[in-house]
Amino acid sequence: MEIILVPGFWLDASSWDAVTPPLVAAGHRVVPVTPAGAETDHPRRADVTLRDQVDAVVALIDDTDDRVVLVGHSGGAAVIHAAVDARPDRVARAIYVDAAPLGAGGVINDELPAVDGLVALPDWDVFDDADLVGLTPELRDHFRSIAVPVPAAVASGVQELSDERRYDVPATVIACEFSARALSEMFVAEHPWHSYVHELSLLTDLRWIDLPTGHWPQLTRPADLGAAILEAVGGGGVRDPEDVAGVDESAGVGSAGFESGSEKDG
């Protein structure tokens, strides 16, 4: 199976390096993506849009004859969901890592400050403690050393979707900051954060895997994230969040994942 991995904001393909070994060992072909505009030599990075990033992933799908698995972390979840919408018959499963699919008309995060059309990785005090769980000083230094500014047009770009067959593509949420149980409780229309999970609540074949940590599990728990993705690719996980064993509710809620009406972070 070809597995296409799309990172969130400020990260490129190398952010998956410690995640992919179990996937490769299991015989899968992994394709870590550097999102359009995250290339260090991109001549017009500030001009890149959300649709440009989506189109690049769709092109990867079209380049293979087989069905693919799409993995999207944080803001990358918006990208893969739009790719699912564009090619619903070509995606075997969509896996959302500490994220939910972004519905039509939503934006990833239009509140991030931009300079010259680019959004740099903010200071750590912008994030809540829950976002930074497991992100040691060494990992923070590493993250900042590899961080790539994000085109503001990606952060504020409006999600465009048109094919309701996207709802029937099998999906898995790997829940980090929020547990699967906490996320599923947001499905109730009266919940204050229901808009964040509304699109997720419409999926007809949804499974859950809990991986308690902060917002960047590819940095804080890479081997465990690789194992969780492998489990998801095989159709693992639970359908009822109440069945998730060993749920750790202490991971809490942070600013980097969940804001009513948007993806909040990248």
pLDDT digits (tens, 9 = 90+) for 147-167: 999 999 999 999 999 999 999
Six-digit token pair at 217? 């599990």
Domain CATH code at residue 90? 3.40.50.1820
Six-digit token pair at 122? 């903010």
The DSSP symbol for 107 reads B
31 bridge partner residues = 4
| Phi, psi (deg, nearest 5) at residue 103 | -75, 170
Please give the average per-residue pLDDT across 165-171, as a whole number. 99
Q: Say if 29 falls within a structural domain.
A: yes
Q: Say if 265 falls within a structural domain.
A: no
Percent of the chain at pLDDT > 70 equals: 91
Tally the domains of the chain.
1
pLDDT reported for residue 47: 96
The DSSP symbol for 65 reads S
Distance of CA 233 to the CA centre of its chain: 15
**pLDDT tier at 40 (50, 70, 90 boundaries)?**
confident
Is the pLDDT score of 132 beyond 60?
yes
pLDDT reported for residue 129: 92
Q: Say if 43 falls within a structural domain.
A: yes
User: What is the C-alpha to C-alpha distance for residues 47 and 231, in angstroms, rounded to an integer?
Assistant: 37
Q: Say if 259 falls within a structural domain.
A: no
- pLDDT tens for 133-149 read 999 999 999 999 999 99
Q: Say if 257 falls within a structural domain.
A: no
Q: Say if 258 falls within a structural domain.
A: no
Q: Using H for helix, E for strand and C for coil, what is the string for 169-193?
A: CCEEEEECCCCHHHHHHCCCCCCCC
Q: Say if 260 falls within a structural domain.
A: no
CB-CB neighbours of 51 under 10 Å: 18
| Residue bearing the bigger pLDDT, 14 or 41 | 14
Among 116-120, 146-150, 171-175, 247-251, name the one with the lowest average pLDDT. Answer: 247-251
Domain that holds residue 44: 2-251
pLDDT reported for residue 43: 83
| Phi, psi (deg, nearest 5) at residue 91 | -110, 120
Please give the average per-residue pLDDT across 108-125, as a whole number. 96
Q: Say if 228 falls within a structural domain.
A: yes
- pLDDT tens for 175-230 read 999 999 999 999 998 898 888 899 999 999 999 999 999 999 999 999 999 999 99
